[in-house]
Amino acid sequence: MGAVTKEMEKHKTYIRRGHIDIHCDQAIVERFNRTLAERLFGHQYAEEMRLPEGQRSTARVKRLPEVVSALNNEVTSFIGKKPAVAIKEKAVYARPSTPYSRPVGKNEKILPSLVQVRYLYQPGEL
């Protein structure tokens, strides 16, 4: 077991891998990557236009900490709070990304994380 794996287990941190064919699993990360790229590379491209041809700017490397800090201190629509605040909480409840097609009550049992659920179809339902 490597040092990183031991450290992650010590802090009860788990890597959740998405499924390749299911876009919803990747949507949050992809949206964050898009926002990060928009803020980093827009500035870099503007600097590269002023440089002599063939030279590349490394402005994104210098700006990365301040851009990530700014993103962490903005309220997100998915959780309704700043990520910097949410990181310190034990549990964060996110709004559903799609509307429910049935009534859902707050008193429904919430499954613990890392629990796998299998849905059983009725005969002929599949």
Q: What is the pLDDT of residues 95-105, one digit of tens each?
A: 766 666 655 56
Asked whether 109 and 103 are in contact (CB, 8 A), the reply is: no
| Structural domain contains residue 1 | no
| Structural domain contains residue 80 | yes
pLDDT beyond 70 at 86: yes
> Comparing C-alpha atoms, which of 61, 59, 94, 58 is closest to residue 78?
94
**14-28, 80-94, 109-123 — most confident range:** 80-94
The total domain count for the chain is 1
pLDDT of residue 105: 63
d(CA 58, CA 46): 12
Q: Kindly report the pTM of this predicted structure.
A: 0.53
Q: How confident is the model at residue 73 (pLDDT cuts 50, 70, 90)?
A: very high
d(CA 123, CA 126): 7
| Structural domain contains residue 50 | yes
Give residue 93's domain range: 20-99
| Structural domain contains residue 119 | no
| Structural domain contains residue 30 | yes
| Structural domain contains residue 82 | yes
| Structural domain contains residue 89 | yes
